[in-house]
Structure 1
Amino acid sequence: MQEPTLYIGVDVSKAELVISLGPEHRPRSVPNDASCIANWLREVPPGALIAMESTGRYHGLLAHLANQAGLKVYVLNARDVYFYARALGTRAKTDGVDAGVIARYLAEHHERLHPWQAASSVQQRLQDLLTRRARLAAQRSALRQIVSGVDACDIDAGGVYQAFDDLLGAMDGKVQELIASDARLRSGCQRLRTITGIGPQTSALLATLFSRLEFTNADALVAYCGLDPRPNDSGAKHGRRRLSKKGPSLLRRQIYLVGFSASRSKALRPLYEAIRAKGFATTQAFIILGRKLLRVAFAVWKGAELFDPQRLLPKNGLQKT
């Protein structure tokens, strides 16, 4: 007789893992370091499923070690787990309770979840560099906002800005070096950069994503990025559509910037104006245009053709957004 599947929920923090094997077991704690995690994984029976929330870099060690041990690993969207816990009427919040909620969520939804896939060393380094570059660029912009309007004519901040620029340039150089080391990433980035609005940063980000995850279609990609509009209708009422925003915020922001950049281009400004003519606000038009170009990027990556802006321009109406 086949043993029932064991669903394991793990609440991850910097210092420790709190593990739940279900409501019939008391949660246990394991230090979040390689040797302790490896010792615990030896106790986990084959065929068990392990789930954890995405917690930045803290969940990465457990995910990699469990994957190497031959176990199926699921990294869950924290918002999904949060609303699931609210629907259960959970009256307390502790690490043990959270781990139990994750285990229960996994047991109920594992059939529609996608197992976590380990990135190659090049993919992981690219992802880390691009994420940190985006944070550094945000800090540079924040610094400019802090000192703007301040009477500091005798204070020279140029050295600080130059240091930011030098570090960003060094990161950009390393990103391009890593891309050049992989034939698939190199050729894919070259094709992606033929798309209006997509530059070195976006092409590197999309190539890293496409090379790691296999999306069924462009709709799945749009949903992953959190750019899918969610209806809010009831009876005769048609509520305002809002983006799900369930995907990586960095990727979503980059696609917005793609739409912004493309709207300023000679090739795609007519498409932007056609979107605006439908009554969409400026920000909405940037997002719609960026979403169209994301679909184009998916097609360009999957095929061998280069981008042709004429195929995207409106004829008798707008295409699918």
Structure 2
Amino acid sequence: MQELFDIGVDVAKANVVIAVQDHPELACELVNEPGALRRWLESVPPESRLAVESTGRYHGLLVHLAQQAGLRAYVLNAWDVSMYAKALGMRGKTDRTDSQVIARYIREHHARLHPYEPGSAAQQAIDQLIRQRARVQVKQQSLMRILQDLPALDPQRQAVAQSLQAVIHTMDAQILAWMHSEPALAEPFDRLQTIPGVGVQSAALLTSLLGRIGFTNADALVAFSGLDPRPKDSGQKKGRRRLSKRGAALIRRQMYMCACSASRTPAFKPVYQALRARGLSGIEAMVILARKLLRVAFALWRHQSVFDSERFRPKMT
């Protein structure tokens, strides 16, 4: 029987550094381009485990090619790997040692991890558009703040704002087109928009996420988003709960914006007011409301239903 490898890869824009657990002689460095990666993958036994840290877009090519070659690819949380390296007592940090740590991490922890699921072509396109749209919007807001104190440049500032807004509108149109390109996406996309506070962008994000990852329950979805409270207790001491922030920041940002909108609707305004009446700050109340919206979205997804204010009325406690 052919031995299966546990492979750790440190990915950069220009190159990748590879380590194979228990096989230091197989360590190598490759150019991060399709030809070199394909040739290397041909020498790797199928069903081997390959892990990379999440590096924005740089790891995408390797993960895609690895899955095509029959490997089980894992995209790891960089913070988890960093803490793991510290726990191992690593005395330095290089690309080579990073790849070795990743290889050891996937060997020891693969049983509780899920291989990366890229989703359909439509889901991949939607995910990319949503991420890039968020980045464009942030840059737009930053640029407008920079130029607002320069009255002499008002015409140029308005022209830039209009151009960037046109880009955002084009992205929105493309997201809608992709969403309606597949019935499996279009139907839940329309259902999720029946939730007060959930608009087109949020519904698209949730539809793609829920369609790509098979969450077992609503708690798993909340944990994935990083909106779950993290305990910090020791003995008799009960520490202050803080958000784990383990998932993608885009999800947390989008759900917080949904909560801001939902807090002004008849369905969720009483919930928000009740939370504030308990002495919670506005941000704390919004975070709790964002978690509730995620749970409602999961229920609509699982039961293939639309929002009903009576059925899904959140508890006040």
Which band: TM-score by shorter chain? over 0.9
Query: What's the CA shift string for 1:58-90, capped at 9, x where partnerless?
Result: 111111111111111111010100110011110
- Residue 55 of structure 1: SS of its match in structure 2? coil
Q: Is the 8 A contact 2:147 2:153 kept in 1?
A: no
Q: Superposition pairs for residues 276-295 of structure 1, below 5 Å?
A: 276-295=276-295
- In the aligned structure 1, how far is the partner of 2:229 from the partner of 2:101? 28
Q: 1:67 to 1:314 in 2, by over 3 A?
A: closer
Task: Name whichever of 269-278 and 301-310 sits farther off.
Answer: 301-310
Shift of 1:172: 0.5
Over the matched positions of the two proteins, sequence identity in percent amounts to 48
- In the aligned structure 1, how far is the partner of 2:81 from the partner of 2:154? 52
Shift of 1:272: 0.5
Structure 1 position 180 matched with structure 2 position 180: yes
Structure 1 position 16 matched with structure 2 position 24: no
- In the aligned structure 1, how far is the partner of 2:2 from the partner of 2:154? 75
- In the aligned structure 2, how far is the partner of 1:314 from the partner of 1:293? 9
Number of residue pairs matched? 316
Letter aligned with residue 14 of structure 1: K
Q: Corresponding residue for 1:253?
A: 253
- Residue 24 of structure 2: SS of its match in structure 1? coil
Shift of 1:155: 4.5
- Residue 165 of structure 1: SS of its match in structure 2? helix
Q: 1:278 to 1:71 in 2, by over 3 A?
A: same
- Residue 130 of structure 2: SS of its match in structure 1? helix
- Residue 51 of structure 1: SS of its match in structure 2? strand
Q: 1:33 to 1:152 in 2, by over 3 A?
A: same
Q: Corresponding residue for 1:163?
A: 163
Shift of 1:268: 1.2
Q: Superposition pairs for residues 289-308 of structure 1, below 5 Å?
A: 289-308=289-308
Shift of 1:23: 5.2
- In the aligned structure 2, how far is the partner of 1:80 from the partner of 1:153? 46
Structure 1 position 34 matched with structure 2 position 34: yes
Letter aligned with residue 66 of structure 1: A
- In the aligned structure 2, how far is the partner of 1:133 from the partner of 1:155? 24
Q: Is the 8 A contact 2:21 2:107 kept in 1?
A: no
Task: Name whichever of 154-163 and 275-284 sits farther off.
Answer: 154-163
State the superposition RMSD in angstroms: 1.6
Q: Is the 8 A contact 2:8 2:99 kept in 1?
A: yes
Shift of 1:147: 2.2
Q: Corresponding residue for 2:57?
A: 57
Letter aligned with residue 197 of structure 1: G
- In the aligned structure 1, how far is the partner of 2:65 from the partner of 2:190? 34
Shift of 1:314: 5.6
Query: What's the CA shift string for 1:98-143, capped at 9, x where partnerless?
Result: 0000001011101101011232111111111111101111111112
Contiguous gaps of at least 5 residues in structure 1? none
Shift of 1:150: 3.7
Q: Superposition pairs for residues 98-247 of structure 1, below 5 Å?
A: 98-152=98-152, 155-247=155-247
Shift of 1:156: 4.5
Shift of 1:266: 2.6
Letter aligned with residue 30 of structure 1: L
Q: 1:63 to 1:128 in 2, by over 3 A?
A: same
Letter aligned with residue 92 of structure 1: G
Q: Is the 8 A contact 1:232 1:241 kept in 2?
A: yes
Letter aligned with residue 260 of structure 1: C
Q: Is the 8 A contact 1:23 1:100 kept in 2?
A: no
- In the aligned structure 2, how far is the partner of 1:294 from the partner of 1:149? 39
- In the aligned structure 1, how far is the partner of 2:3 from the partner of 2:223? 33
Q: Is the 8 A contact 2:227 2:243 kept in 1?
A: yes
- In the aligned structure 2, how far is the partner of 1:45 from the partner of 1:165? 48
Letter aligned with residue 129 of structure 1: L
Structure 1 position 89 matched with structure 2 position 89: yes
Q: Is the 8 A contact 2:2 2:45 kept in 1?
A: no
Q: Is the 8 A contact 1:274 1:314 kept in 2?
A: no
Shift of 1:148: 2.7
Shift of 1:154: 6.3
- In the aligned structure 1, how far is the partner of 2:154 from the partner of 2:71? 61
Q: 1:105 to 1:153 in 2, by over 3 A?
A: closer
- In the aligned structure 2, how far is the partner of 1:283 from the partner of 1:309? 24
